[in-house]
Every structure is written in C-alpha cells, then in structure tokens.
Amino acid sequence: MSKLTELIEHLCVLDGVSSFEEPVRTFLQTQAAPYADEMRVDLMGNLIVFKRGRTRTGNKLLLAAHMDEVGLIIKKITDEGYLKFSAVGGIDRRVLLGKPVRVGENALPGVIGLKAYHLVSAEEEKSVPKLEEFYIDIGAKDREEAERLVQPGDWAAFASVPERFGDGFLKAKALDDRIGCAVMLELLKEDLPLDVTFAFTVQEEVGTRGAFAAAFSVTPDMALVLETTTAADLAGAPAHKQVCSPGKGPVIVFMDGGSAADRGLYEMAREAARTNGIPWQTKHYLAGGNDAAAIQRTKSGVRTLALSAAVRYLHAPASVASLRDLDDMLRLTRLFLGAVAKEG
C-alpha cells in the first residue's frame, strides 16, 4: 500500500462538514508545517501554504483542493428528543435511512431514521421521502436530554471506516476531496521544480466559497484544481451519461458545469500523460462543478485546469475510487508541475 493511500484513509476518517472543517485543517497544518516556507489560515478558514521550488518562473501557480465534505446540520430538536436536520451540500436522500452519523465536536453517535416501513402507504412507496421526514436518533428520551448533548447549528457527519476491497479499490466517506488534499500533501514533501502555492479550501460543497477568497488573495496566473468527479459507470446507465470510470486513469477535465479548461493547460496535462505512459480519461458527460469555477473568475481571470479522480457514489456515506488512479493522479500532477516550470 502506498503512502498516498494511507494518507487518504487517515484524512477520510476525519470529519469536516462545510464550515466545520477544523479537525481536517488542524491535521493538514501539522502535516504541511515541516515543508512549508510560509503558511497561513485566512478569514474564511482556507489553509494557504507556499513552498519555494528550484526555479523562479513568470507564472504564479496555485494548486487547490477542498478539505470540506457534505453532511448535515441540526436545525431543530423534537419533544421526543429526535434531531431534525438540513443537508450541507448536495446529498441524495435515497441513501440516508439507517446510516450512522457522528454529531458535533464530541462525535456523538446517532443513526438517521424515518417513519416505520409498515406505516408507509402504497403511494408513498413510489417516491423518495422528503428531507423533512428524516431525523437523527441519538437515543435521548426527550427534548431536555437531547438539548444537554446537541444544539441547533451543530453538524453531523457520516460515520464510516475506509476499507480496501475488490481488485484495487478503496471505499470511504469524504473521498471528495480528501484525495486532492492528500496529493497536495505528498507534493509538499518533495523538491518542487518551481514555486507553488497550495490552497486547502473550505466550503466548496456549499458554493465554492473558500476558493474564491483564496484565489483573490493569492492572485495566481494559473491554477490546477485537484478534485474528484462522479463516475456513473453503472449497469443500466445510458452510455452517453456515464461520465468516466474508476480504474481508467485520472480525469483531465476540458469542461464541466462550472468552468471550461484553459486550452493550453489541458493540452499540457494530456501530453504529460501520453508521453509518460499514464492512463487518462476525460468526462463524457458534462456535469458537476468545483473550485475551478470560482478560481477561474477571480479578479482579471486565471488560467485554470481541473484534474480529478473518478469516484462512484459521490456525496454518500461510502464512495469508491481506484487505488491505481490515485497514484497516477499524483504522478501526473508532478509531471504537470515540471511542464509548467519548463514553460516559464
């Protein structure tokens, strides 16, 4: 098992729901500090790390990956002691029933509940329950007991343990985007060919908010966003809607729902993959978006490219990625930095 895989697994155990990223940020700070020339946390909570490389170039390069994950936020406690919640980020309601969660800073154990199945009408069976119908059960006997443990505004994260399985796959929560964070941490440990600013951003899942602030302060000339993207390579999905596939290499994104790649950077990444024997793919269905959308539009504009890992079941209690893709993503990013250094 590679050091990158171990790092991803460790990161995925941590809880960092959007705007509650402190546990992840603290770990990232500890890991980055020995290798950073400069490090700061901005007012949004982004961790921005600068590392000097072997050469100075005319291009100011930013690498970005978001540290936050989708989750839930408590909005009300019922008389019976159940927690009503809203989603933080885009979550498929179909996956919620019966899932274990950790609530708040004390990681209070809970489980997501719903009306008992024997009470569901024939008509209700045909539709997905509304978010308002779910609740979190923390085992409290009434509101008073629950309020001693939880308050409205507390977050809840899916509780799952990373596990390697099958033919070289990893399942875990928060692969989006602890994969990108791990790749950046590994690169920080290396002798880089040029100066690089690393932005571990916050609040991507609720509107790429942290990335806009980070890019506005860094003011890069170009940026590489290290991300994940939904795969949808499943039986029954129409071929034209199957975005990409885990195991076929990193995804070099020419366009998605939020941004279009800088053409020169896109070709640079493709050429690096081709000439070095790294398998790669692109998105066959233009969907989704990430921090690239915010970074690209910052100030007078930024040349931007997104490089993603193909992941099944994004924003679920357990997502799936290919271990081989993760190592290739690190290799390709390293080669991309070398290509940018040569371009000057």
- Tell me the catalytic residues: 204
Helix (H, G, I), strand (E, B) or coil at 185: helix
Return the half-sphere exposure (C-beta side, CA atoms, 13 A cut-off) of residue 110.
31
Q: Residue for token digits 């970005």?
A: 64
**Strands 71-77 and 222-230, bridge-based pairing:** unpaired
How distant, in Å, are the alpha carbons of 138, 281, 284, 287 from that of 236?
37, 21, 16, 18
Virtual torsion, Cα 120, 150, 178, 186, nearest 10 deg: -160
Helix (H, G, I), strand (E, B) or coil at 31: helix
Strands, E, within the chain: which ranges? 38-41, 47-51, 61-66, 71-77, 83-88, 100-103, 108-113, 135-137, 155-158, 163-165, 169-172, 196-201, 222-230, 251-253, 303-312, 319-322
